[in-house]
Amino acid sequence: MPCLFVAIALAVPRLLLAYLWFFTHWFEGLFDTLMWPILGLVFAPTTLLWWTVVQRAYGGEWGTLQIVGMVIAVLIDLSPGKKSKKKD
């Protein structure tokens, strides 16, 4: 059961990005090349989502709230890859 929760947690940001890409105009005009959204989808989907929110909702203005949100998004993206060390 815990593996199911991990799989869902890893899939949700990617599914949301795919939905936004195919069914909305959320990403229009934000990227010059297709490389950045694809890299974001694979490696840092939560960070990509927050970056697009800042670009769309806040007009690209980076204040304290936006930076704190970005730090949290990066930590969320990095947390599943972190492995704990077992002491024997």
- Domain membership of residue 16 (yes or no) is yes
Residue 24 DSSP SS3:
coil
pTM equals 0.80
**Looking at the 3D structure of the chain, how many domains does it have?**
1
pLDDT by 10s per residue, the chain, length 88: 778 887 887 889 999 999 998 999 988 888 888 898 889 888 999 999 999 999 999 999 999 999 999 999 999 888 865 555 556 5
Separation in Å, CA 50 to CA 4, 32, 40, 80: 25, 18, 11, 18
- Residue 21 corresponds to which tokens in the numbers above? 């890409």
- Domain membership of residue 11 (yes or no) is yes
Dihedral, CA of residue 66, residue 70, residue 72 and residue 78, to nearest 10 = 180
- Domain range for 39 is 2-78
